[in-house]
Structure 1
Amino acid sequence: MKTIVIAGGGYSGIHLLKGLKKEFKNMIGKEIQIILIDRNRYHFRKVLLFKEIIQPSDLEIPYEEYCGESTEFIQGEVLSVQKDENNLLILREGKHECVPYDYLIIALGSEIREVSAELGGISLRNIESAQMIRKQIFEKLNEQSGKRLLNISIVGAGITGIETAASIADWLSRETGFLHNIVLINSEDRLLPQLPETAANKVEKQLGKLGIRVEQGKRVERYANGQIEFKNHPAIPADICIWTNGMIPNPLIRKLEFKTDCKGSVIVNSFYQIEGEINIYALGDNALIRDRKTGEVAGMTCKEAIDQAGRLSKIMKQDLKGKQKLSHKHHFDFYCISLGSEKGIVWMKPLGLNFFITGRLGGKIRKLTWDLASIIRR
C-alpha cells in the first residue's frame, strides 16, 4: 500500500485531500493510504479573520469533517523531513514520532506578517488580536460618547486591509451611530497593483462611499501618542491603529532544508515537485510556482491554492500509473473583495475583457468564494 502524507491543512491542504479522495476513491484503504497532518485540530478560515473584529465568528472547522472514515488525521507539529528514510518527523503529544511516506506534500501555507510591538498599534494576525481590536473600539466609543467621532487607521491596503476597513466602516455606520474617520494607508502608489487600474479605481470609489479615505504612497514609521507618523509626510490623528501587512511563507519551510527563494518559498517544478526530489511536492502559499509557458508566478490566494490542489491530485494519480503528466497552469484572472456586510466587487478578465460585478450580487459571490475555499456546503 502506498502512503500519501499531506503536511498542512490550510486551503491547499484540504483541497488536495478532497482531490486525492476523488481521484483514488475505490483505491483508498486498499492500495492507497492518505494521512493529513497539522499542528491544530481544526482548519482555520484565515481569510475571514477580519470578521472577528465585528462579532464572534466560527472560523474553525475540525479536520475530522474533511477526513471522514477513509483518511487519517494526525495532530502534530512538523519538525523535519528525513528524505533518505522517507519519514516525516513530527512532535505529537510532546513526543517525537516518525510518519513514513511514499509521497509527501508540503502544504504548510503562510503566516500573517507580524509587526514589531515597538511600532505601536495591533497586528490583525489571529483571533486574539481581532478580539483585542474589537475591545479597543468599544473602549474608544465609550470614551468618546460626547465627541461621536472615531479615528481609525488601517495600515496595509491589500485585500485584507480593504475588507477590514470596509467591514468596520459598515458596522460603525449601521450599529453604533458614530461618525467615523477611517483611513486606509497604502505604501503603493495605487490600490491593488495586481489588478488593472480601472478595477483599482472602482474599489477606491466604493470605499469612498463607505466614508473611507485612502492615503496612497505613504510609508508608516510608527503609531505613537494617538498619531500615525510617516517618513516624509505630516502625522495624522488615530484613536486606533490596525496593521494588515500581508502574508509570508511559513517560516518552517526554511528549516526543512529544501531550496527556497529569498522570500522563503520552496522552489518547485511545473509538476509541483520540489527541486531535486521525486516523491516530495509542494503547493500553495509556501511554494514558488511558475507557469512554464508564461513565466507568471502563482499568487498567494485561495483560488490559486484550490486550482493547484486539483491539478496536483491528477498529477499524483498519473505518477502512480506512469502516464504523461499535466503541468501547472496560471490561474485565470479573478478577484473578489467584500465591501461591508452585504456588498462586494468582483473583477474578472474573460477573453481579455475587464468584467465587473458590484453591489449585493458581488457580496453574494464573495461569500460563496469563502465557503468554496473551506469546502462548506450550504
Structure 2
Amino acid sequence: MKELTCIVVGGGFAGIHAMKAIQKAHRAIGGEQKLNLILLDQQSHHVRKVLLFRPAVSSSNITVPWEQLLPVDSVFIQGSVEQVEPKDKILLYTDFEGNQHWLAYDVLVMAIGSVARRLEAEHGGITLTGVSTASQIYDLWQDNMRRAAEEKSKEERQRLLTAAVAGAGISGVETAAELAFAMRSEAGKYGIHPSEVNVHLINAQERLFLEGPSKVSQKLEQDLAECGVTVHHKRKALREEEGSLLLSDGDALPVGLTVWTLGLMPNPALRTMGLPLADNGRVIVDECYRVPDADGVYAIGDNAYIVERVSGKVSQMTCKEAIPQAQRLGKIVAADLIGGEAPKHKAVMDAFTIGLGPGRGLLWTHKWGLDIIITGKLAYKIKCFTWDLASMLKS
C-alpha cells in the first residue's frame, strides 16, 4: 500500500488545527493510502502565544505537551526548516542538536506563523516576545515591589511602582490590564496601597482599537481606567534610560519597568526557504491556500498571504483567522487528492474579544448593520473559551 506523507511545519494554532483537520478529512474520503502525519516544530511543546502576558504577571505555565494535542499515530520532529525544494518534494531541516536532514513529503503545510517585533537592547525595557522575556518582566516588577517597600524617597518609590506598556494593540491592552491587576494585587503583601501602583499604556494612534468604531475605543479606555491603566494617545515611546521612558513629545515618564508590545511580523525564516513571498514577507497562496508552482504545498495562518476574491480583504494575523483556515484546509487537501472540488477561502466575521484582567473583558462584533458590545464577566468567559479553543483545550 502506497503511503501518503503529510508534513505540517509549525505547531502554533494553525498548525495543530491543520493536523487534526487533515487526518479527519483523509478518513472521510476513505483514502486507501496510509497517512503519515508529521509535525515539525522548533519547540518541544506547544506555546499558547496569545497568553504571553500570563508568565509576565504570574507563575502560570502557558505550554502544552505535544502528546496532549496531536492526533493519534502522528509523529513529532523537533527542528526548523531551512529550505524547501518543491520540484523534488523534499525539505531540509535542522534538528535540535544542529544536524541537518532531508525529508520527503507528498503534502506540505507551512504554518510557522509570526513572531513578535523586537527592539534592539539600546532602547531599554523588555520586549514581550516569548516565555523567557515574560519571566524577566515578572521578576523585575516583583523586585521593584520589594525595593519600593523599603525605599525612603517618595519619588523613587513612585518610580519603582510605575510600569509602562509601549504599544497599544490588543496584546498591549491585555498586557497593561493584567499587569495593573497583578501589581495592585501584590501590593498589600509589601505594605503598599494599591493606589500607589501606576501602569501607563503608550498609544501612537489617535485612539485605541482602530479595528472597531470609536465608541468601542471609548468603552475600552474607560474599562482600562477602572483597571488602573492610564492611556496616552498620539505619543510614541522612544527608549527607556536611567529610569525614565522618553516619549516623542519630549516628555519623560519615570518608570521602574517598560514592556514593549510592538505587534507581529511574518516569521523571517520564510525568507530563506525558497517559497514565493509577498512584499510583506508572507507566503503567496491562491484561494485554496495552494502555493503557486509548488505541487502539494499549502500555507495558512499568519505566514500566508490570502486574499478573498469577493471582498478583496487580506487575511489578518490572528488566531480567529488561522483556525477556520486550518479546518478548511483539511477539506482542500482531501479534495486535491481525489480530484474533487476544493472549498475556497472565506473571510471571517468582524469580531474581537479583549481580556482586561481576571473576570473582565470586552467583545465587539458588527452584525446585521449593528455594533454589538458585550463587557464584563461574560465577555471574559467568551475570551477564555476562545483562548482554550485556539490551543485545542476545548472542542
TM range (shorter): over 0.9
The within-5 A match list for 1:59-208 is 59-92=62-95, 93-145=97-149, 147=154, 149=158, 150-177=161-188, 178=194, 179-208=196-225
**CA-CA distance at 1:352 after TM superposition:** 2.5
Q: Is the 8 A contact 1:28 1:34 kept in 2?
A: no
Q: Which whole-Å CA distance do the structure 2 matches of 1:174 and 1:143 have between them? A: 17
**CA-CA distance at 1:29 after TM superposition:** 8.7
Q: Which whole-Å CA distance do the structure 2 matches of 1:183 and 1:46 have between them? A: 23
**CA-CA distance at 1:304 after TM superposition:** 0.5
Corresponding residue for residue 191 of structure 2: none
**CA-CA distance at 1:30 after TM superposition:** 4.2
Moved more, 108-117 or 22-31: 22-31
Moved more, 146-155 or 334-343: 146-155
Q: Which whole-Å CA distance do the structure 2 matches of 1:106 and 1:326 have between them? A: 19
Corresponding residue for residue 238 of structure 2: 221
Corresponding residue for residue 385 of structure 2: 368
Could you say what secondary structure the match of 1:193 adopts? coil
Aligned positions, number:
378
**CA-CA distance at 1:48 after TM superposition:** 0.5
**CA-CA distance at 1:68 after TM superposition:** 4.2
**CA-CA distance at 1:125 after TM superposition:** 1.1
Corresponding residue for residue 228 of structure 2: 211
1:194 maps to a residue whose letter is E
C-alpha spacing 1:102/1:230, structure 2 compared with 1 (3 Å)? same
Corresponding residue for residue 22 of structure 1: 24
Q: Does 1:286 align with 2:307?
A: no
**CA-CA distance at 1:31 after TM superposition:** 3.4
**CA-CA distance at 1:218 after TM superposition:** 1.3
Q: Is the 8 A contact 1:218 1:233 kept in 2?
A: no
Per-residue CA shift, 1:204-242, capped at 9, x if unaligned?
Answer: 110011121111111222111221112333222212111
The one of 57, 61, 83 equivalent to 1:58 is 61
Q: Which whole-Å CA distance do the structure 2 matches of 1:213 and 1:69 have between them? A: 48
Q: Which whole-Å CA distance do the structure 2 matches of 1:282 and 1:43 have between them? A: 19
Could you say what secondary structure the match of 1:306 adopts? helix
**CA-CA distance at 1:195 after TM superposition:** 1.7
Corresponding residue for residue 7 of structure 1: 9
Could you say what secondary structure the match of 1:3 adopts? strand
Moved more, 61-70 or 367-376: 61-70
How high is the TM-score relative to the length of structure 1? 0.96
The one of 24, 46, 50 equivalent to 1:47 is 50
**CA-CA distance at 1:375 after TM superposition:** 0.2
**CA-CA distance at 1:358 after TM superposition:** 0.7
Per-residue CA shift, 1:86-120, capped at 9, x if unaligned?
Answer: 00111124322111111111101111111110001
2:36 maps to a residue whose letter is Q
Q: Does 1:353 align with 2:370?
A: yes
Q: Does 1:336 align with 2:353?
A: yes
Q: Is the 8 A contact 1:267 1:275 kept in 2?
A: yes
Q: Which whole-Å CA distance do the structure 1 matches of 2:185 and 2:146 have between them? A: 17
Q: Is the 8 A contact 1:155 1:242 kept in 2?
A: yes
Q: Is the 8 A contact 1:333 1:349 kept in 2?
A: yes
How high is the TM-score relative to the length of structure 2? 0.92
1:171 maps to a residue whose letter is A
Quote the sequence identity (%): 37
Q: Which whole-Å CA distance do the structure 1 matches of 2:222 and 2:258 have between them? A: 23
Q: Which whole-Å CA distance do the structure 1 matches of 2:24 and 2:366 have between them? A: 30
**CA-CA distance at 1:281 after TM superposition:** 0.8
* Unaligned 5+ runs, structure 2: 189-193
1:249 maps to a residue whose letter is P
Corresponding residue for residue 242 of structure 1: 259
Q: Is the 8 A contact 2:20 2:71 kept in 1?
A: no
Q: Is the 8 A contact 2:362 2:380 kept in 1?
A: yes
The within-5 A match list for 1:25-36 is 25=27, 27=30, 30-36=33-39
C-alpha spacing 1:229/1:334, structure 2 compared with 1 (3 Å)? same
Corresponding residue for residue 38 of structure 1: 41
Q: Is the 8 A contact 1:105 1:280 kept in 2?
A: yes
* Unaligned 5+ runs, structure 1: none
Q: Is the 8 A contact 1:21 1:28 kept in 2?
A: no
1:101 maps to a residue whose letter is Y
2:118 maps to a residue whose letter is E
